Amino acid sequence: MNDARGALAVETLLKIVLVLVAVLLVIEVLSALISGIIGLLQPLVMLAILVLIVLWLLDRL
């Protein structure tokens, strides 16, 4: 009977863990960049909504 359990070397497991950590870091950085961009655009969107409401109230829209 040939038992294949534990056939992976420790170095292979460490490489897999390193790749998973690198992917997690890339996801975190992208998430921070996207939330930063949305954070910068939020006041502009609110200002555009305010302008649209004022124009609608003044019957200029």
Is pLDDT above 90 for 1?
A: no
Question: Residue 46 pLDDT more than 80?
Answer: yes
Q: DSSP state, 52?
A: H
DSSP annotation string for 11-37: HHHHHHHHHHHHHHHHHHHHHHHHHHH
Which pTM was predicted?
Answer: 0.59
Taking CA atoms, 27 is separated from 21, 33, 41, in Å, by 10, 10, 21
- Among 8-17, 22-31, 37-46, 51-60, top mean pLDDT goes to 22-31
Q: Cα(50)–Cα(61) distance, rounded to whole angstroms?
A: 13
pLDDT tens string 14-37: 999 999 999 999 999 999 999 988
